[in-house]
Structure 1
Amino acid sequence: MSDNTLLSNIDKIKGFDLNLLLTFEAIFIHQSVSKAASLFGITPSAVSQSLTRLRSFFDDPLFVREGKGLVATTVAENLHTHLSEGFGQLINSLDYFKDTSTKSKFIIHSTAYGAMRILPPICSKIETTNLRCEISHISADASLNNDEDILIYRKADIIFDTKPYYSFSTVTEQFITEQTVPICRKDHPRLGSTLSIEDIARENATLLMTGSEGVKRFQNDVLEHFGEREFSFSSSSIIAITAITESTDCISFIPLWFAKKAALSFNIKTLETDFVADPVTFYMTYNRSSLKNKNFTELLKVINGCKELY
């Protein structure tokens, strides 16, 4: 069911007390007002008042007295047929989320690179534990992210980002730090093993397009140290940046971890330089209220236990 259809259906029944349907089901099953009242812990008079409202809404008596019990009308029979399946699914869903031993699905929001860097050790660790959970990753360009909206509207359970987000309702922790290094293709015609200010001025460069505050700070540090660069390619993908670097004479800056990984598959080499910028920090942010979920706290233990693996 689409959101628009759901909203349309809600608009149709606004003003109707859905608790009346629970009362109807209790009367239908027990064929008694007094037994329904006992089930809910209320007076028979209160149940009778609810039945009166139901009769008015459906324009039907719903139940008629026969002997000492009540007999459902055709309208009531049809109503029960339609309600029983829906109530069964609703109760099963509530039991699913109430049972903390049930498998849980947790959504993690980060850039594609953030997921590639952070999630593998976590998923590997989950496999070796008894934690019943499914991890779903949502990838988005950091320039389009709004961590506040993502957390407030529960679009994700955990956010990994280079920007910390602090509020009374969230918890933000420093997770890992990333050092960034310059790279070029192995057979670059003019560069050996080092990179100087003169080299930067002479060669074309690539630019990682991102709204990440940590990456932007690093890019500003590069600008202050090396001066203006001539960009011939830009992308929001580190993989694309690396692929272009191995096929051209461009110089690129990528995370050291990824440079070591990429060197096994791409025709690139890491360049030495006297430039050392502050590392880029990834932060983990989540809603404080999520700590009430037992499986979520177990997931946090797994995540924090993986920090030594990065």
Structure 2
Amino acid sequence: MRVDKNDSLRSILGLEQPASHARKKFDLNLLPIFIEIYQHKSVSKAALILNMTQSSVSLALGKLRDYFDDPLFFREGQHFTPTQAAAQFYASISVSFGSVHREVAKVAEDKVKSKIIIHASPYLSMRLLPSLSEFIWLMQNGCEILHKSTTPANDSKETWATDVMPDITFGFARSTNPQMNSQKLMSEPLCFVCSEDHPRLTHELTNENGKHETFVTFERLCNTFLQNRAKPDTLAPERISSMKSDSLFALLSVIGSSDKIGVIPVWLFEKFNATFHLKTLATEIQLNPLTVYMIYSSTAIKTPVVGDIISQWAGDVCTCE
């Protein structure tokens, strides 16, 4: 059966069928295979481009020949020569198929580039978003950043309580999800702080004067503090903490208006010590720094902008640490 020159694309594909001549349904998956064979005049080259086996491409060509009741291609030496039916079919679909392909690619690319979803706690948002947003808008002008706050306690969960999975999450713990990568981004040095008007402490925290004090601690730091005291028997464990919070900003407010001592990142103290009337305390007690992780899926690095964040911006942050 020869395809009439006046057949429209829809009738060629069997989408519009005369009542007297109903065709079997056309498999649209065969279209890209036909186009590659036609353009490259070779089953082997089509298979290479489509990442398929030659036998799969040959099977698809057989289905096309069966559908059109036409050989479609004749072998001439090392190349295939299209029949008139194949040439007419290609002329009917090539422009439309190319347009559809470009639109699909454009939509997919725009979707990736036009919006990036970031999850981070309020503290890490303040710490990282100014630099990160500047980098994103440099890479993709007009890109929308959708930021959602997450508490540190939720950073390592396997799922997030949102409708859409974030592109990147920043947290103080590695993800337990095996499908997520947890890349160390930077370390946050810590310091002891108290109110400027603390009734007992002036400039120093020692094992001796620390015996009489209580602490308010960031939830992620409680164990760190306990494990890094200079002398485990000098500060009674029951007096270590009178409050734990997953909000560093809540701790700032409490420390500044009480006689409690806190352990906070140095960066946070330098930003807000004047606002909350805080001072640092010199001490010999050693505290390990907080580790900040950047968490993302294994496919994220392959996407525009997000891949640049992972490969370029993260490296700059580590360099400036």
The bucket for the TM-score relative to the shorter chain is 0.5 to 0.7
**Corresponding residue for residue 135 of structure 1:** 145
How far residue 136 of structure 1 moved from its aligned partner, in angstroms, is 2.0
**Corresponding residue for residue 114 of structure 1:** 124
Equivalent position SS for 2:148: strand
How far residue 183 of structure 1 moved from its aligned partner, in angstroms, is 0.6
Report the TM-score, using the length of structure 2 for normalisation: 0.61
Q: In the comparison of the two structures, how many residue pairs are matched? A: 234
Residues 230 and 278 of structure 1, relative CA distance in 2, 3 Å threshold: closer
Q: Distance in 2 between matches of 1:97 and 1:234?
A: 47
- Given the alignment, which residue of 203, 207, 210 partners 1:200? 210
How far residue 37 of structure 1 moved from its aligned partner, in angstroms, is 3.0
**Corresponding residue for residue 247 of structure 1:** 257
Q: How does 1:1-310 map to 2 (within 5 A)?
A: 34-37=11-14, 45-47=23-25, 97-99=107-109, 103-130=113-140, 132-150=142-160, 155-165=165-175, 169-208=179-218, 210=219, 212=220, 215-221=221-227, 224=232, 226-228=235-237, 229=239, 231-300=241-310, 301-310=312-321
Q: Distance in 1 between matches of 2:181 and 2:9?
A: 52
Q: Distance in 1 between matches of 2:253 and 2:177?
A: 39
Conservation of the 8 A alpha-carbon contact between 2:117 and 2:146: yes
Deviates more, 1:261-270 or 1:227-236: 227-236
Residues 32 and 239 of structure 1, relative CA distance in 2, 3 Å threshold: closer
Residues 36 and 164 of structure 1, relative CA distance in 2, 3 Å threshold: same
Equivalent position SS for 1:147: coil
How far residue 176 of structure 1 moved from its aligned partner, in angstroms, is 0.6
- Greater helix proportion: 1
- Show structure 2 runs of 5+ residues with no match: 1-6, 27-100
Q: Distance in 2 between matches of 1:93 and 1:141?
A: 39
Read off the aligned partner of 2:14 and give its amino acid letter.
Answer: A
Q: Distance in 1 between matches of 2:284 and 2:171?
A: 28
How far residue 270 of structure 1 moved from its aligned partner, in angstroms, is 0.3
Equivalent position SS for 2:294: strand
Q: Deviations over 1:143-198 (max 9, x none)?
A: 244432249x9521112122223776333221110111111111222111100123
Residues 47 and 148 of structure 1, relative CA distance in 2, 3 Å threshold: same
How far residue 252 of structure 1 moved from its aligned partner, in angstroms, is 1.0
- Show structure 1 runs of 5+ residues with no match: 1-29, 49-90
Equivalent position SS for 2:174: coil
Identity %: 24
Equivalent position SS for 2:306: helix
Read off the aligned partner of 1:226 and give its amino acid letter.
Answer: L
Q: Distance in 1 between matches of 2:102 and 2:222?
A: 48
Q: Distance in 2 between matches of 1:143 and 1:114?
A: 13
Report the TM-score, using the length of structure 1 for normalisation: 0.63
Residues 108 and 216 of structure 1, relative CA distance in 2, 3 Å threshold: farther
Conservation of the 8 A alpha-carbon contact between 2:158 and 2:177: no
Equivalent position SS for 2:295: strand
Residues 47 and 33 of structure 1, relative CA distance in 2, 3 Å threshold: farther
**Corresponding residue for residue 16 of structure 1:** none
Conservation of the 8 A alpha-carbon contact between 2:139 and 2:305: no
Residues 288 and 102 of structure 1, relative CA distance in 2, 3 Å threshold: closer
How far residue 277 of structure 1 moved from its aligned partner, in angstroms, is 1.7
Residues 149 and 167 of structure 1, relative CA distance in 2, 3 Å threshold: closer
> Could you say which structure has the larger radius of gyration?
2
Q: Distance in 2 between matches of 1:92 and 1:265?
A: 54
Q: Distance in 2 between matches of 1:135 and 1:99?
A: 16
Residues 121 and 264 of structure 1, relative CA distance in 2, 3 Å threshold: farther
How far residue 34 of structure 1 moved from its aligned partner, in angstroms, is 2.3
